[in-house]
Every structure is written in structure tokens, then in C-alpha cells.
């Protein structure tokens, strides 16, 4: 059988799904792979891109199990060939989802300091070199090498995620339906930084804050008492309507561009009330139009 055989060729069947996991070193690829293993995927870590087609050919002969492959900067010499190969495989009918794990430089430096592991692109420092500066340079070089792959992938910002959160978010992503656009609504607190994985960011800090009402402070935007309060504020309804109108207008364009995921981040001061309410409300409204996922970065971190 030729390596370029179509998935529909006699005697073969394409894997039902191939997830390609990549991203910045230290951003959680091992945790993501373990989550996919728990979800029933057959996982291969650091597979050289040039072996991907042959690997899938063998998989088609053996089973229709779902496959997850981790590719990282250790295969830097082969990365320029990865994107064209993924497009070829998609054109042949293989369902491929590319997930890119990212994190802020400060978070990555902290993780490397805690684990004392070297960055894969770092060189053995000389006595006169600044190890901290060398680590940051290695991280920035890695960002540059992986920038094109990031552009065509679903991005997950793990800067403030605990491993349990990342495992949950990975499981939710791979459960998203087939070829439909998946809308990810994510609430966050501006005081902890804007998510790196956001395609659109909306700031709702100008709206009335339930935090300053003593009876509402212990609750969240998921609770009816907070929702009822915000429903009664005219400017809340106006902003919700404008965001909904904007997304409704541009969803067909994203679908036509064959985008698989679109992440809409809603931020407020503490990530507890207004942003959570907006995410819950928008997810309900868009459920008939797209597969929707809900993420509450600050609330999920507490659970």
C-alpha cells in the first residue's frame, strides 16, 4: 500500500480522530497527553513529523481508535514540514485537531525554576552568562519557531491553570462535535491577566458590580440572585445585545474560514460575578448556533 493512499481506499479506515498536541515547553503537554489517554486516545509523545503519515497508515490497518500525537520544538528541524503535511492529511479525509498549549513567560520561568529542568533549547551556560536571561531567550526563540503552528491551532493558556483544570479543558475540547464551529466562552479577572488563548476580549468592568452589594458578594454569576440583579440593569442588557450581535454577524465568516474553535473571553475585576454571568448567558444564546464550551478561569481554579 502506498503511503499516499486515501483513507477511503479498500481495506483501510482512517482514525476517527487525530489530535496533535504542541506548544511551548513547560506549558503542560504531558498533563494534556495523560488527559487524552484517560479519554481513550492512543498517545505518542514527540513523534517526528516525518513519521506521522507512516504511523497513521499503520493505525488504519490495525484499528479505528482515536490517536493523539505530541510534537514539540525538539523536532525543530522537521516543523516546517508539519503544517503542509497536516493540510494534506485533512484533504485526504483525516480529522485532525491541533491544540497549542501556551503560557506567559513569567509562569514558564517559575516552572523551570521549581523543577530545575533545562529548557530544550537552552545551551550550557558559561560562568559569565546570566542563566535567567538565557532561559528567557530560549523561551522567546521557541515562540518564534512555533508561531506559525500556533496560528492554526486551538490555543489553551495554561499560565494560571492547575493540572486538574487543564485535564478538564482538554477532555471538553476533544468532546466537541466534528466539523461544527466550537465557541468557547471564558470568564476571567483582569487583575490576573488577559488569557493568551482569547480570540476576542470584552471588558465588562464598566457595568454595575454585584461585589459591592453585601448580599450578593458571596455568590457568583451562576447564581440566580446575581443574574436577577444584572438582568435588571439596562446597560447590562445593552452590552449583552451588542456582543451577541457582533458574534452572530461574524460566525459565518469564521465557519467559512474553516475555523474549528473561537474563544471569546469576558473579563471583569475579580472574575466572579459580571464576567461569569455574561459567559453563562452568551453560551445559552449561542447553543443553537454552535457547539459551546464554558470556562470560568477564576472559578474553576477554586474547584
Pick from 74, 71, 69: which is nearest to 118 by CA?
Answer: 74
Residue 171 sits in the same domain as residue 75: yes
Percent above pLDDT 90 for the chain: 48
24 and 91 in a common domain: yes
Residue 207 lies in a domain: yes
25 and 161 in a single domain? The answer is yes
Asked whether residue 81 carries a pLDDT value surpassing 90, the answer given is: no
Mean pLDDT of the chain: 85
Task: Assess if residue 65 is contained within a domain.
Answer: yes
Strands 200-203 and 261-268: parallel
DSSP 8-state assignment for residue 206: T
Residue 3 lies in a domain: no
Q: Which of 214, 220, 207 is nearest to 277 (CA)?
A: 220
Which contiguous run of DSSP H or E holds residue 144?
helix 131-151
Higher pLDDT, 81 or 197: 197
Same domain, 218 and 83: no
Residue 264 pLDDT class (50, 70, 90 cuts): very high
Counting the structural domains of the chain, the total is 2
Task: Copy the grid coordinates of residue 57.
Answer: 497508515
Are residues 238 and 253 both part of a single domain?
yes
The tens digit of pLDDT for each residue in 154-204 reads 899 999 888 988 998 898 888 765 556 889 999 999 999 999 889 999 999
C-beta of residue 18 within 8 angstroms of C-beta of residue 70: no
Residue 23 lies in a domain: yes
H/E stretch holding 157: strand 154-157
What is the model's pLDDT at position 7? 40
Query: 73-76: which pairs have CB atoms within 8 A and are 24 or more residues apart?
Result: 73/25, 73/120, 73/121, 73/142, 73/145, 73/146, 74/46, 74/120, 75/46, 75/48, 75/49, 76/121, 76/145
Both 43 and 165 in one domain: the answer is yes
When pLDDT is cut at 50, 70 and 90, the band that residue 124 belongs to is low
pTM check: above 0.85: no
Instruction: Check: CB of residue 19 under 8 Å from CB of residue 174.
Output: yes
* 3-class SS string, 108-134: HHHHHHHHCCCCCCCCCCCCCCCHHHH
Instruction: State whether 288 and 214 are in the same domain.
Output: yes
Where does a domain end: 160, 175, 190?
175
Residue 303 reports pLDDT greater than 80:
no
Res. 241: pLDDT tops 90: yes
Beta-strand relationship, 182-189 and 96-102: unpaired
Q: Which residue has the cell 523536532?
A: 75
- DSSP, collapsed to helix, strand or coil, labels residue 261 as strand
- For residues 133 and 225, membership in a common domain is answered with no
Please indicate, yes or no, whether residues 133 and 63 belong to a single structural domain of this protein.
yes
d(CA 196, CA 226) in angstroms, rounded, equals 28
* % of the chain surpassing 70 pLDDT: 87
> Per the domain annotation, does 126 fall within a domain?
yes
Q: Residue 167's closest CA among 36, 295, 43?
A: 36
What pLDDT score does 76 carry?
A: 61
Say which residue, 52 or 75, is predicted with more confidence: 52
Residue 113 has pLDDT above 90, yes or no: no
| Domain, as residue range, for 195 | 182-302
Q: Is the pLDDT of residue 153 over 50?
A: yes
Residue 126 has a pLDDT of: 47
Read off the pLDDT of each residue in 134-158 and give the average, rounded to a whole number.
Answer: 89
249: Cβ–Cβ under 8 A, 6 or more apart, which residues? none
Asked if 276 contacts 210 with a C-beta cutoff of 8 angstroms, the reply is: no
pLDDT number for residue 71? 87
Angstrom distances, CA of residue 65 to CA of 8, 34, 178: 16, 16, 16
How many residues make up the chain in this entry?
A: 303
Residues 222 and 87 in one domain: no
Cα–Cα dist 24/259, whole Å:
22
- Which DSSP category does 71 fall into? -
Task: Identify the residue with better confidence: 206 or 85.
Answer: 206
Residue finishing a domain among 150, 175, 200: 175
d(CA 289, CA 81): 35
pLDDT in tens, 11-68: 445 456 789 999 999 999 999 999 999 888 899 998 888 888 888 888 877 767 789 9
Amino acid at each position: 500500500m502506498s503511503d499516499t493512499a486515501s483513507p477511503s481506499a479498500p481495506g483501510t479506515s482512517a482514525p476517527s480522530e487525530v489530535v496533535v498536541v504542541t506548544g511551548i515547553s513547560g506549558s503542560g503537554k504531558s498533563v494534556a497527553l495523560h488527559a487524552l489517554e484517560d479519554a481513550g486516545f492512543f498517545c505518542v509523545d514527540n513523534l517526528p513529523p516525518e513519521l506521522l503519515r507512516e504511523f497513521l497508515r499503520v493505525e488504519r490497518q490495525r484499528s479505528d481508535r482515536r490517536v493523539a500525537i505530541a510534537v514539540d520544538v525538539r523536532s525543530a528541524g522537521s516543523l516546517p514540514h508539519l503544517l503542509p503535511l497536516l493540510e494534506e492529511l485533512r484533504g485526504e479525509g483525516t480529522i485532525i485537531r491541533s491544540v497549542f498549549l501556551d503560557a506567559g513567560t513569567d509562569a514558564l520561568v517559575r516552572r523551570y525554576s521549581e523543577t530545575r529542568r533545562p529548557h530544550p533549547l537552552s545551551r550550557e551556560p558559561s560562568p559569565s552568562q546570566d542563566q535567567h536571561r538565557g532561559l528567557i531567550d530560549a523561551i522567546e526563540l521557541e515562540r518564534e519557531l512555533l508561531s506559525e503552528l500556533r496560528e492554526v491551532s486551538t490555543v489553551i493558556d495554561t499560565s494560571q491553570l492547575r493540572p486538574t483544570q487543564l485535564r478538564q479543558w482538554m477532555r471538553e475540547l476533544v468532546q466537541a462535535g466534528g466539523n461544527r464551529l466550537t465557541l468557547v466562552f471564558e470568564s476571567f479577572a483582569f487583575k490576573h491577566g488577559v488569557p493568551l488563548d482569547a480570540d476576542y476580549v470584552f471588558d465588562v468592568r464598566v457595568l454595575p458590580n454585584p461585589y459591592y452589594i453585601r448580599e450578593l458578594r458571596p455568590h457568583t454569576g451562576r447564581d440566580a440572585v446575581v443574574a436577577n440583579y444584572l438582568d435588571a440593569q439596562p446597560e447590562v442588557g445593552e452590552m449583552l445585545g451588542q456582543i451577541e450581535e457582533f458574534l452572530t454577524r461574524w460566525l459565518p465568516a469564521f465557519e467559512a474560514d474553516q475555523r474549528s474553535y473561537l474563544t471569546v473571553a469576558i473579563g471583569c475585576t475579580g472574575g466572579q460575578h459580571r464576567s461569569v454571568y455574561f459567559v453563562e448567558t452568551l453560551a445559552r444564546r449561542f447553543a443553537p448556533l454552535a457547539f459551546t464550551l464554558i470556562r470560568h478561569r477564576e472559578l474553576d481554579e477554586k474547584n
